[in-house]
Amino acid sequence: DTAVSQTPKYLVTQMGNDKSIKCEQNLGHDTMYWYKQDSKKFLKIMFSYNNKELIINETVPNRFSPKSPDKAHLNLHINSLELGDSAVYFCASSQNPPGLAGDEQYFGPGTRLTVT
C-alpha cells in the first residue's frame, strides 16, 4: 500500500484555468504538507496542516488554497493558473508538527503541473 499518494501524477492545463491536486496518507499521521519543487529542483514548503488546522503558510499567492477535510487528506486548489506555477508539487506527512522531535516526513510521488 502506498503511504502517501497524490492524484493526478501529471497535469497539463492552460493559463487561467483552475485545478486541484489531491493527497491522501494512510500512515495515521497528524501533520501534512505541500511543497513546490521548481525546475532547478529547489524544494520549498508552501503549507502545513496539523489535525486539519493550518500551521504553516509561507509566502504563497492567495490563488493557492489548501483544504484538509480530515487528517488523512490535504488537497491543493489553484485558481487562475500562471506559467510560473509550472513545477512538481509534493505532498508529505509526519506524525508530529515540524520542529517537534525531528520527525521524518514521508513524501508522495509528486504531481508534475505544466501550465501552457
Partner 1 sequence: AQSVTQLGSHVSVSEGALVLLRCNYSSSVPPYLFWYVQYPNQGLQLLLKYTTGATLVKGINGFEAEFKKSETSFHLTKPSAHMSDAAEYFCAVSGGSQGNLIFGKGTKLSVKP
In Å, how far are 78, 90, 107 from 62, measured between CA atoms?
A: 9, 18, 24
Give min distance, CB of 55 to partner 1, in A: 7
Cα-Cα-Cα-Cα torsion 55, 23, 92, 68, nearest 10 degrees, comes to: 10
Tell me which residue has cell 496539523: 50
Residue closer to partner 1 by CB (options 66, 108) is 108
Pick from 8, 44, 63, 82: which binds partner 1 (CB under 8 A)?
44
Secondary-structure percent of the chain, ordered helix, strand, coil, rounded to 5? 5, 55, 45
Compose the 74-113 pattern: x for residues touching partner 1 by CB under 8 A, - for all others.
----------------x-x----xxxxxx-xxxxxxx---
**Which residues are bridge partners to 12 per DSSP?**
114
Pick from 45, 65, 67, 114: which binds partner 1 (CB under 8 A)?
45
My answer on whether omega of the bond before 8 falls inside 30° of 0, hence cis, is: yes
Compose the 12-41 pattern: x for residues touching partner 1 by CB under 8 A, - for all others.
---------------------x------xx
Residue closer to partner 1 by CB (options 38, 82) is 38
